[in-house]
Amino acid sequence: MASPPTATLAERLMIYLTTPIYYPNDRPHIGTAYTTLVADAVARYWRLVGEEVYSVTGTDEHGLKIAREAEEQGMAPQEWVDHIVERFHETWALLDMSFDDFIRTTEDRHRATVQAMFQKWHQAGDTYLGRYEGWYCVRCEAYYTESELIDGNCPWHGTPVEIHAEENWFFRLSKYAQPLLDHIAANPEFVVPETRRNEVIGFIEQGLDDISISRATLKWGIPLPWDEAQVAYVWFDALINYVSAAGYSDDPDRFTRQWPAWAHLVGKDIIRFHAIFWPAMLMSAGLPLPRQVAVHGHLLVGGEKLSKSNATQILPQELVETVGTDGYRHHFLRDVSFGPDSNFSWEGMVDRYNADLANDLGNLANRVLHLAEMFRDGKVPARADHGRPEEQALAAAAAEAAGSLRHYEQFKTKQAIDGVWGLFAAANGFVEATEPWHLDSRDPDRLDEVLNAALEALRVGAVLVSPSMPGAARRLWDKLGLPGRPDDGPLAETATFGVFPESTVSKGDPLFPRIEG
């Protein structure tokens, strides 16, 4: 069987980027917020470049876990998820997330798509009735074989598993083992990073068993179109959100332009669902596969100031109170390398804020704006001398910093921001070297040129931090008295180091007040 093609970037019309849809069983924590944040920064990068973007997050609302939690709360499942989903909207707003869509699996557009996909597998002969008997972890909503359990417990949660036995519909996953291996071999970028790709290959090579895709004993789910007594297994419901949100059942024109996805961003815990089940489900339905499944590691907790031992216990709100939304975003995007596990520490976050934001960027902005106000009443002439070595070095640093944003295309947020910080280091060096505070009496024309170049570095800097710190970028833009917004783009024009235009700049409050203690 030939594996379907993966569209290349040049062929595609839209950058369609997804996060997992989260279980609305609690408020979002710093782990779920991490995936969402990386997706948001990358989506903002593509918009800045000038690409058409559709970025989606959402909630995974069916299944046994949610049904049981609702029961514990004494609520109907729908009432419970409606309540919790608000916490997600609040947190994403607090963190300045800019999604184009938020999909809930209880929506009609999703229900229709799930039923259509199940019907396709059924028609393709990929479903059959069988008896499932084995181990189930409700927290993962996943089946495990005896050998996968650790001391008889769930390998992820370490908690007891349940024995489940019932008559279910099965999906012929085994049939897709070879096509999946062929697809991964032909598309080395299908799963990144490489260590995760090898993990997926190893898993498939052990052999794939057919999998139960329906539940007879659960009511909280989407009924199968040909057997209404059974509801869809929650993972075979949830994964379909990616085509539902692309308009499969309610906007076929958009679906044609949007599918296949440019990338699904996921944590390492759900790799086999995304890199094995999902492509097999798409192959069976005759749909093309996403270009990429990009897998990141987990946030762990270190440091001493936190009493919590697990990242899932820390809420973004607690951190935003200290470092603000932009400080939060900057820390996770610059300090967490995409791929390996990473330790979160309170001290690391505050140190990062003071070093990068209060010092490097905040002081630079304060200083330059202060000088512009003091010597030129905030009105710096559009006067420049780009022939000078100091200005040339600054322009080169700006070009290099702008080029580093390309790392966002590989989710390498740290490298992208490291590059941007090269511009702030160069701009601080430029101010030190040119000593504008001595120039007004000695060489006023040179003062105009120096202030103009330093303001231009701040302008380009505001453009370049707009994917990672959209709020701070806008505040800096306003201080610079510029029209429009720093993220108006296209990047190729707005990040080009030129002559700072006539405008009235104002220092105002510090961009990033220092955090003491």
Q: HSE, CB side, 13 Å, CA atoms: give it for residue 83.
A: 13
- Nearest partner of 287 among 243, 257, 253, 225, judged by Cα: 243
Of residues 234 and 465, the one with the C-beta less far from ligand ME8: 234
DSSP 188: T
Q: Does 277 bind ligand ME8 (CB under 6 A)?
A: no
Rule CB under 6 A: say whether 60 interacts with ligand ME8.
yes
Residue written as token pair 């919590």? 308
Q: Which residues make Cβ contacts (< 8 Å) with residue 458, sequence separation at least 6?
A: 364, 365, 368, 427, 476, 480
Cα four-point dihedral sign 241, 242, 243, 247? positive
Where does 177-315 have alpha helices with state H?
177-186, 194-205, 234-238, 241-244, 252-258, 271-272, 278-285
Query: Cβ 312 to ligand ME8, closest distance in Å?
Result: 6
Q: How far is the CB of 270 from ligand ME8 (least distance, A)?
A: 4
At 383, which amino acid appears?
A: R
Please check whether residue 29 is in contact with residue 313, taking contact to mean a CB–CB distance below 8 angstroms: yes
Please pick, from the candidates 12, 16, 17, 31, the single residue that binds ligand ME8 as defined by CB under 6 A: 31
The distance in angstroms from the start CA to the end CA of the chain is 63
And the tokens for 485? 């917004």
- Is 272 a binder of ligand ME8 (CB under 6 A)? no
- b/e sequence 186-215, b meaning 16+ C-beta within 10 Å: ebebbbbbeebbebbeebbeeebebbbbbb
> Kindly report the CA angle at 46 between 40 and 47, in degrees rounded to 5?
85
Is residue 135 within a helix (H) or strand (E), and if so which, with residue range? strand 127-137
- Closest to ligand ME8 by CB, 320 vs 499, is 320
Minimum separation from the CB atom of position 100 to ligand ME8 (A): 17
Cα–Cα dist 179/459, whole Å? 50
CB 298 → ligand ME8: shortest distance, Å? 4
What whole-number distance in Å separates Cα of residue 362 and Cα of residue 95? 20
Instruction: Tell the smallest beta-carbon distance from residue 367 to ligand ME8 (Å).
Output: 37
Q: Is 34 in the site for ligand ME8 (CB under 6 A)?
A: yes
- Which lies closer to ligand ME8 via its Cβ, residue 208 or residue 245? 245
Q: Cβ of residue 507: shortest distance to ligand ME8, in angstroms?
A: 38
**Per CB under 6 A, does 269 bind ligand ME8?**
yes
- Bridge partner residues of 18 (DSSP): 56, 264
Stretch that binds ligand ME8, among 32-40, 347-355, 381-389, 408-416 (CB under 6 A): 32-40
Of 43, 263, 266, 431, the one binding ligand ME8 (CB under 6 A) is: 266
Question: Which listed residue (298, 367, 386, 388) binds ligand ME8 by CB under 6 A?
Answer: 298
Among 70, 97, 154, 270, binds ligand ME8 (CB under 6 A): 270
**How big is the CA angle at 259 (ends 258 and 263), to the nearest 5 degrees?**
95
Minimum distance, C-beta of residue 31 to ligand ME8, in the bound complex (Å): 2
Instruction: Name the token pair of 346.
Output: 């309170």
Is 35 a binder of ligand ME8 (CB under 6 A)?
yes
Size of the chain in residues: 517
Asked whether position 81 contacts ligand ME8 by CB under 6 A, the answer is: no
Looking at beta carbons only, is 140 or 417 nearer to ligand ME8?
Answer: 140
Sign of CA dihedral 152, 155, 159, 164: negative
Which of 32, 57, 168, 325 forms a contact with ligand ME8 (CB under 6 A)? Answer: 32
Cβ closer to ligand ME8: 242 or 424? 242
Minimum Å gap between C-beta 256 and ligand ME8 is 22
Site for ligand ME8 in 184-243 (CB under 6 A): 238-239, 241
**Binding-residue total with ligand ME8 (CB under 6 A):** 20
Q: Smaller CB distance to ligand ME8: residue 306 or 393?
A: 306
According to CB under 6 A, which one of 299, 319, 369, 457 is a site residue for ligand ME8? 299
CA 122 to chain centre: 34
251 and 270 in contact (C-beta within 8 Å)? no
Question: Residue 88 or residue 421: which is nearer to ligand ME8 going by CB?
Answer: 88
Closest approach, Cβ 22 to ligand ME8, in A, equals: 4
Cα distances (Å, whole numbers) of residue 149 to 154, 160, 205, 207, 250: 6, 9, 19, 18, 41
Residues 307-336 interacting with ligand ME8 (rule: CB under 6 A): 311-312
Among 12, 20, 46, 417, interactor with ligand ME8 by CB under 6 A: 20
Binding segment (CB under 6 A) for ligand ME8, from list 29-37, 150-158, 209-217, 495-503: 29-37
CB of 199 to ligand ME8, least distance (A): 14
Beta bridge partners of 170: 128, 212
Q: Which residues bind ligand ME8 (CB under 6 A)?
A: 20-23, 31-32, 34-35, 60, 238-239, 241, 266-267, 269-270, 298-299, 311-312
